[in-house]
Amino acid sequence: MSQSKYAECIKACIECAHACEHCADSCLSESDVTKMAECIRTDRDCSQMCWTAAAYMSRGSQFIPEICRICAEICEACAAECEKHNMSHCQACAKACRKCAEECHKMTGVHV
Amino acid sequence: MSQSKYAECIKACIECAHACEHCADSCLSESDVTKMAECIRTDRDCSQMCWTAAAYMSRGSQFIPEICRICAEICEACAAECEKHNMSHCQACAKACRKCAEECHKMTGVHV
Amino acid sequence: MSQSKYAECIKACIECAHACEHCADSCLSESDVTKMAECIRTDRDCSQMCWTAAAYMSRGSQFIPEICRICAEICEACAAECEKHNMSHCQACAKACRKCAEECHKMTGVHV
Amino acid sequence: MSQSKYAECIKACIECAHACEHCADSCLSESDVTKMAECIRTDRDCSQMCWTAAAYMSRGSQFIPEICRICAEICEACAAECEKHNMSHCQACAKACRKCAEECHKMTGVHV
């Protein structure tokens, strides 16, 4: 993909969006979905913002610092929720969220 | 909003997207979420396609007939799922889905 | 649509998203598109964030204040750009952006 | 990312979405944007459908065959438009579109 200064962050956003979509779907297949409700909600919010951030970065938008700031915030909230659950999809999602938050933080001070 | 030939369909898509987002969130607050899993899944798929179709119509895309065809199909599947459940959010969502499917069908033969 | 505390803001976001999609497409049909490049860019960024904010509000997300803060910021930038151009699609878009920014600002302190 | 049967197609969709976002932005920086109007339009439609298809596949949606069918169609139209232009961003985008169309076609008969 792109060799731009956003390449690593785009990659982390896409990995995170993918992990969140997969985690939400896997949560819906658990034997007790009721206790996964909050995880499904944060997965939904996080995946949408990560896909969105990837799009803004792909076109070099002037709003990348602001988008990455909110994306990092939502990723951290989603990671905190996923970390409460032992299932491998939640643990993998938490890890992708932490990585994405880290990469997004680096973009918040980027000069575009 | 727009006075275009798409105005009614855009409106129905937005009402449906909104109803699906709300229904999915309400399903996640039910006492037994497990039995709502399939409804949450179709709500997710349906809301995303309805927001998407509204965007394509808002900009007068050349792909409106194709987008509206798949949107109608997903709306019908979501309506069929929602109709299985008595909760008012599911019943309201089913109604919005049926209306949206009807309006989308009208667009599939539109000359753009 | 919804009778929720978000109803007015959702409506303003959707009107703005629609206006931005339409404005970008209309700019692409102007006789000199080159001078509309920045307007097309901000329209694109603004429509995407407005659709996104409408989705977060429709499901009552915990991140509504943050989403509405960035949405207001992008709307104001898009309004400022559109106001430079005399075409009716740009003037109408600027107006929708200003209204949306105003409604989004009201949501940034909302207790969810 | 995922080791699923969708992995290659998700990857192609994301590469294509990224290329289309970048191509549209680059077209807006050309000296004569007027002649790029149609390319910017198809880039916009194609990027949105590719991001959307990547999301549906990431969560293993039941509608993957239908989504991939329309995604392939839009990719082919976008490739045909981009191929008319000599700029490297258009040529790279056309290539990403053709690859994505090919991968999406493989998914249209997938048993989910």
Q: What value of ipTM does the predicted structure carry?
A: 0.94
- The residue whose two tokens read 């082919």 is D76
> What's the gap in Å between the CA of C44 and the closest CA on chain A?
9
Using CB atoms, list chains with 3+ pairs below 8 Å to chain D.
A, B, C
Q: How many Cβ atoms sit within 10 Å of the Cβ of residue D108?
A: 15
* CB-nearest partner of D37 from C33, C41, C44: C33
Using a CB-CB cut-off of 8 Å, the residues of chain A touching B40 are 28, 40
* Chains contacting chain B through 3 or more C-beta pairs under 8 A: A, C, D
CATH of the domain at A84: 1.20.1270.360
Q: How far is C92 from chain A (nearest CA, A)?
A: 23
The pLDDT score that the predictor gives to residue C109 is 78
Give CA–CA dist C86/C31, Å, rounded. 14
- The answer to whether residue B102 neighbours chain D at the CB level (below 8 Å) is no
Q: Are B47 and D55 in contact (CB under 8 A)?
A: no
Residue A96's domain comprises 7-107
pLDDT at residue C4, as a whole number: 83
d(CA D79, CA D82): 5
Which residues 6+ apart lie within 8 Å of D70 measured at CB?
B63, B66, B67, B70, D49
pLDDT of residue D109: 78
| % residues pLDDT > 70 (chain B) | 95
Which percentage of chain D shows pLDDT scores above 90? Answer: 93
> Is C112 part of any domain?
no
Residue B1 falls within a domain, yes or no? no
Dump pLDDT digits (tens) for C48-80.
999 999 999 999 999 999 999 999 999 999 999
Does the residue A112 lie in any domain? no
pLDDT computed for residue A82 by the predictor: 98
At A2 the pLDDT is 55
More confident call, A36 vs D2: A36
Averaged over D44-50, what is the pLDDT? 98
- pLDDT above 90 for B2: no
> Is residue A110's pLDDT more than 80?
no
Domain assignment present for A34: yes
- What is d(CA A76, CA A93) in angstroms, rounded to the nearest whole number? 11
In a domain, D35, yes or no: yes
User: What pLDDT shows up at residue D4?
Assistant: 83
Q: What digits encode the pLDDT tens for the residues B3-58?
A: 689 999 999 999 999 999 999 999 999 999 999 999 999 999 999 999 999 999 99
Interchain contact C51–B (C-beta under 8 A): yes
Average pLDDT value for residue range B82-90: 98
Interface touch D56/B45, C-beta < 8 Å: yes
Chain C contact for D110, CB < 8 A? Answer: no
Contacts of A29 in chain B (CB under 8 A): 37
Using a CB–CB cutoff of 8 Å, tell me whether A60 touches chain D. Answer: yes
Residue C44 Cα distances to B69, C17, C39, angstroms: 25, 9, 9
Using a pLDDT cut of 70, give the percent of chain D over it. 95
Q: Judge: A47–D25 Cβ closer than 8 Å, yes or no.
A: no
Quick one: pLDDT band at residue C110, thresholds 50, 70, 90? low
pLDDT value of residue A3: 63
Tell me, yes or no, whether B57 lies in a domain.
Answer: yes
Provide the mean pLDDT of chain A: 95
**Phi, psi (5° rounding) for residue D80?**
-60, -40
pLDDT tens column, D52-85: 999 999 999 999 999 999 999 999 999 999 999 9
Residue-level pLDDT at D1: 58
For C94-107, what is the mean pLDDT?
A: 98
Share of chain B above pLDDT 90, in %: 93
List B residues 17-36 in contact with C (Cβ-Cβ < 8 A). 17-18, 21-22, 24-25
How large a percentage of chain A has pLDDT more than 90?
93
Residue C67 lies in a domain: yes
When divided into structural domains, chain B yields a total of: 1
pLDDT category at A27 given cuts 50, 70, 90 is very high
- φ/ψ region of C85 (left if φ > 0, alpha if ψ in -120 to 50, else beta) reads beta
The answer to whether the beta carbons of residues B20 and B48 sit under 8 Å apart is no
Q: Quick one: pLDDT at residue A4?
A: 83
A31-74 pLDDT, tens digit per residue, is 999 999 999 999 999 999 999 999 999 999 999 999 999 999 99
Is D38 exposed, middle or buried (CB count within 10 Å of its CB: 0-12, 13-18, 19+)?
A: middle
Per-residue pLDDT reduced to its tens digit, A80-99: 999 999 999 999 999 999 99
pLDDT at D37 over 90: yes
| Residues C80, C97: Cα–Cα separation, whole Å | 9
Q: Cβ separation of A45 and C52 shorter than 8 Å?
A: no
Domain-embedded: residue A2: no
